[in-house]
Amino acid sequence: MDKKAMYKLSYGLFVLTSAFEGRDGGCIINTGIQVTSEPNRISIAVNKSNFTRELVEKSGRFNLSVLSEAADFDTFRHFGFQSGRDVDKFASYAACERSANGLYYITGGTNAFLSGSVEQTIDLGSHILFIAGVDDMEVLSADPSATYAYYQSEIKPKPAQQPATGKTAWRCKVCGYVYEGEELPADFICPLCKHPASDFEKVVI
């Protein structure tokens, strides 16, 4: 069995937004897909540790903004590398508006949004799978949708070019953060994007 087969699956990238009792939240996910067309339904899988997952579970509503190739790294940093538990991501965020359901959607670096009402919630251990009917949707731009592969190759900053030192280090595959050392502690959490040690690759710098 070659586990690299999993890397051949392609993914889109989205800002998932929701709100409950006046508290707005948003996070980056790569798990939005259409699952039926009659009626129109979408599914999203959201890591339980995400604050926005709580908001979706409590309110039963969300918006899914589709990130396009025009999205900049700051959009990923803003919604992906900090938690809504610690900061209000909408306190000073300009590129958003509220849709008919009262939730924010993202207007910069996106090409569409869909408004969902949760019909089924399935506990998958690390993630919650939400299946939702689509109440509303709009196209926002003609830019192509960003794939996870496009993010990795075109949006994520390239590691700084420095003279090789020959040192062993570990690079976060999500955000590019580099930890210098022969061994990466098993419980290491990326200080930038909060992804675990399993998302690091060994490199020589």
At its nearest, how many Å lie between Fe ion and the CB of residue 144? 25
Q: Which of 175, 184, 188, 200 binds Fe ion (CB under 5 A)?
A: 175
**Shortest Å distance, C-beta 176 to Fe ion:** 7
Minimum CB separation from Fe ion for residue 97, in Å?
30
Beta bridge partners of 129: 45, 122
95 vs 197, which CB is nearer to Fe ion? 197
Name which position in 174, 184, 188, 200 contacts Fe ion (CB under 5 A).
174
By CB neighbour count within 10 A (0-12 exposed, 13-18 middle, 19+ buried), where does 115 fall?
buried
Report, in angstroms and rounded to the nearest whole number, the Rg of the chain calculated over CA atoms: 18
- HEC-encoded secondary structure of 134-197: EEEEEECCCCCECEHHHHHHHHCCCCCCCCCCCCEEEEECCCCCEEECCCCCCCCECCCCCCEH
Nearest distance, CB of residue 172 and Fe ion, angstroms: 3
Residue from 99, 172, 188, 200 that binds Fe ion (CB under 5 A)? Answer: 172
In the complex with Fe ion, the residue whose CB is nearer, 174 or 184, is 174
193: contact with Fe ion by CB under 5 A: yes
169 binds Fe ion (CB under 5 A): no
